[in-house]
Copies of this chain bind each other. A is one copy, B any other.
């Protein structure tokens, strides 16, 4: 069907090897033949067969993106499209293709792992949303399979790209403290995930540094999703909070729903700060004060790091913390108090 190297060689009046050299940009090809070959290649629309290439080079030029915990609800978060876009566009930019693996529980992980480790499907992988002791990570480490994490690394010595969750959370809570709120609660993320714990730590840091006792009674454990924000807020209302820090914007939406239902006003009765700065957050009423994290960039930087890793050009372990930003809108009350 499609032409192969030999065909192109014949058409250009040279040998297979020469065509290969031209295509791969190797030296030691005279300018004349190079041009002649390139012309035929272009005219015939020739592309080297990736499978044949892979068979000999042991490289696929395909990257993977894995989310072990892409449970239906978790993955519905607009966080992921942004992340995927960052990864995809960077991969394309470097002429890599992108393969996707959405895990839906541990049983599936083992299958992923097997399909991935068999040399020849992908060269390396970007991993997001890992939980503690994810067996996938252990496997990759053991097999020395190249990977980069997005999020806090669950152990030492791994390559990771992240934001400083703890610091960002502290900034968010300090903002509430400075505004004068006295009984600040928190709705946490899914505490099996390191990022959720880091945000909780940041909340405690802020209270401690302000000389307040961080009573655990004002902490509601959530799971990053809307319903858990709703439930968490319902719970916290019994604790008489006057402000709540939510570990995700999605939960803040749920919290807002609970407050509306109780006919409580935001921020007058309860102030709210979220985390993520999703597109909808600015459109809520009131607009949500939140921590903006550069989701697309997280994906981009991770992908770039992975590609460098594959090229042996990454000093490992590699760690990057991308900056976050407190975005002040209506839900924290700062705009009213001015």
The reply to whether the CB of A303 lies closer than 8 angstroms to some CB of chain B is no
The answer to whether the Cβ of A280 comes within 8 Å of any Cβ in the partner chain is yes
A140 at the B interface (CB under 8 A): no
B contact residues around A257 at 8 Å (CB)? 283, 285
- Which of B1, B92, B117, B279 is A226 in contact with, Cβ under 8 Å? B279
Quick one: which of B48, B85, B253 contacts A280, CB cutoff 8 A? B253
Beta-carbon contact of B283 and A118 below 8 Å:
no
A119–B117 Cα distance when bound, in Å, is 24
Instruction: State how many angstroms separate the Cβ of A10 from the closest Cβ of chain B.
Output: 19
A52 x B55 contact (CB < 8 A) = yes
Evaluate contact between A119 and B283: CB separation under 8 angstroms. Answer: no
Known A100-B84, A100-B98; contact A2-B118, beta-carbon cutoff 8 A: yes
Q: Are B85 and A81 in contact (CB under 8 A)?
A: no
Which residues does chain B contribute within 8 Å of A81, judged by CB atoms? 75-78, 80-81
Residues of chain B lying within 8 A (CB to CB) of residue A226? 279-280, 283
CB-CB under 8 A for A283 and B55, given A97-B115, A121-B50: no
For the complex, would chain A's binding face be called helix, strand, loop or mixed by DSSP majority?
A: helix
Are A108 and B82 in contact, with the CB atoms below 8 A? no
Give the copy number: 2
* Count of A interface residues, CB-CB < 8 Å: 58
A39 contacts the other chain (Cβ, under 8 Å)?
A: no
Interface of chain A residues 215 through 255 with chain B (CB within 8 A): 226, 230, 250, 253-254
Return the contact of A120 from the options B51, B72, B98 (Cβ within 8 A): B51
Q: Is the CB of B50 within 8 A of A120?
A: yes
Q: With A114-B47, A285-B260 known to touch, is A82 a contact of B76 (CB < 8 Å)? A: yes
Given contacts A70-B85, A76-B78, 5 further A-B contacts (CB under 8 A): A2-B119, A98-B101, A100-B100, A253-B283, A256-B285
In the A-B complex, the 3 residue pairs with the closest CB atoms? A47-B118, A51-B54, A260-B285
A-B contact pairs, 11 of them (CB 8 A): A50-B121, A65-B100, A70-B85, A75-B81, A76-B81, A76-B82, A78-B81, A88-B100, A97-B101, A98-B101, A256-B283
